Structure 1
């Protein structure tokens, strides 16, 4: 009898910590290669998405890039299953921040910044690092199926010190508004997919895509500073690798805060600000496409045309 996804993840979180780290890394590589060879729908969509990040790549280069992307994606899961066992020293050694000065100054001044993220690298590792070294993280998580799987992920992130709101629940945006106007935390939003059907259509890697309006709406509504942060893997060597207990670390690249236009309607201002953070993250994705874990449809030309037209009509009504 096959195990459901929630049960499999529960077993992985419970027992992966007992598996030697090199063995676990090997398992994730093998799992990634098997899924890549099977050419599942997710792998095919990842390849189409990566073609936007690398439009001049040949079919062979895209296949190799998709394989590297699946290995990066499975590495994320392997790390998630054992992250509870990482010491604070290991977490610190695994993360390098770039362009952090502005964010540090804002938090020190009692200002809560809003950080727009894409599905890059290991955003959970970034979250636990930020909760300790920057400020407690408040974020919104997509409700997954089956429910048991979502509860596993929610408990995992809360155990790491993050506060989790659930996308689609009543009052989520009001909670974010209140948080953005109080000191003592950072609001981090994975926003390169529109889960609410109230998103913003933008130019993303040279194609039209629909992303979440939340980060820009918070900045426009509250005046909270908004910046994008790219997350990607890097190989560790020497003393840092020894301290991290793994050959892989991540870079969190903070971009400068985005000015909010003083003129225009709220919708127009949200559109402008959204395009700005998308442009910032698109540069990180082009530089590190293998760490963009986007196996879903985000580009308009990949969507069902009739369904998308209904989504646009609903968002404008």
Structure 2
């Protein structure tokens, strides 16, 4: 069924507007970008009634002990943070030369990363929509670690192209989840000993397992655990949060140990996914304004009719030319 002409025209206009705004805002100094982001976030909270209601509903589930006023404050701050995040990505050229100062590792995080990569099995790098996940990936790339991320295409190809270019300029390859070639790219990634970034904090149509998230079962992607067990790669959970006392972000890395030859692989997948989710939840609890509260994390329920499908990763022996 063809798309009506007026919808196609509207999409083209929207895409052109996004491109124009991205080019114009990319020239902003960092301070101006953050100030504009803060203004846009406050306006979004005031006038985005549906988004505001979704966020407050999800915050009430996650923090039933907190009063409404605190939910409102978190939701408002979250939209400010997300708008600033977008402007940080767009205006990256203003501070990219000093990215190592703007995005820093906490404690021995950079050494942990180097030691995990030195094992030569690749690395499953698990993260979520906490802090600025795009700058997290860019900062990992700045260390010289070869890496790629799995991402979902948006409905706007211009946005996809912008994000793919942003990542590539930062040394991060993009593997689109919907691309049939991604399955083989995953094999090549681990055989080359590279890092693969996977976000596991959203309820999406991929294969998953139910693990607790803020005290309630949430359908969680299982790919990180499956890939770790298949390739013997270390699992590291990385989270990001704003520095607080200065502009910028702090990265915290935690390795998740696992049994590489479990008697019950399915139980080990469950345990790895649970531990990764627990670390992400702890980060969100510590910095609740830096998560995407408009997302319905508990949408899929156990025993429901939803049957998500994952990318089918072919067996290594089935591949040629890899």
TM-score by length of structure 2 reads 0.84
SS at match of 1:18: coil
Which secondary structure state, in structure 2, belongs to the residue aligned with residue 209 of structure 1? Answer: strand
2:256 and 2:275 in contact (8 A); partners too: no
Pick aligned residue for 1:86 from 72, 90, 95: 95
- Deviation readout 1:193-234 (Å, 9 max, x if unpaired): 243331221111211111211111111111111121111111
Partner in structure 2 of residue 122 of structure 1: 132
Instruction: For 1:97-108, list aligned pairs within 5 A.
Output: 97-98=105-106, 99-100=108-109, 101-108=111-118
Tell me the residue number matched to 1:267. Answer: 266
Asked if 1 retains the 8 angstrom alpha-carbon contact of 2:203 and 2:218, the reply is no
| Contact 2:237/2:276 (8 A) holds in 1 | yes
Q: Report the Cα distance in structure 2 between the residues aligned to 1:220 and 1:16, rounded to whole angstroms.
A: 43
| Structure 1, gaps ≥5 residues long | 238-247
**Which of residues 134, 150, 157 is equivalent to 2:167?**
157
User: What is the rounded CA distance, in whole Å, between the counterparts of 1:207 and 1:104 in structure 2?
Assistant: 35
Q: Equivalents in 1 of 2:94, 2:25: separation in Å?
A: 10
Q: How many residues align?
A: 299
Q: Secondary structure at the match of 2:17?
A: helix
Post-superposition CA distance 1:74-118 (Å, at most 9, x none): 110010111134333x10101121241332212234342111101
| Rounded Cα–Cα distance in structure 2 between residues aligned with 1:95 and 1:262 | 36
Q: Give the match for residue 317 of structure 2.
A: none
**Which of 17, 25, 50 matches 1:16?**
25
Deviation, 1:265, is 4.0
Distance in 1, matches of 2:169 and 2:104, equals 22
| Unaligned stretches of 5+ residues in structure 2 | 1-8, 311-322
1:207 matches 2:202: no
Q: Counterpart of 2:304?
A: 309
- Match of 1:255, SS state, is strand
Q: Distance in 1 between matches of 2:210 and 2:150?
A: 21
RMSD (CA atoms): 2.5
Describe the superposition over 1:128-174 as per-residue Cα deviations: whole angstroms up to 9, x where unpaired.
Answer: 11112150221011110122222222222222221001012214234
1:95 paired residue among 99, 103, 120: 103
Pick the aligned partner of 1:69 from 57, 61, 78: 78
Q: Which residue of 2 aligns with 1:280?
A: 279
Note closer, same or farther for the CA distance 1:216–1:174 as it changes in structure 2 (3 Å cut). Answer: farther
Corresponding position: 1:132 with 2:142: yes
1:234 counterpart (243, 246, 249): 243
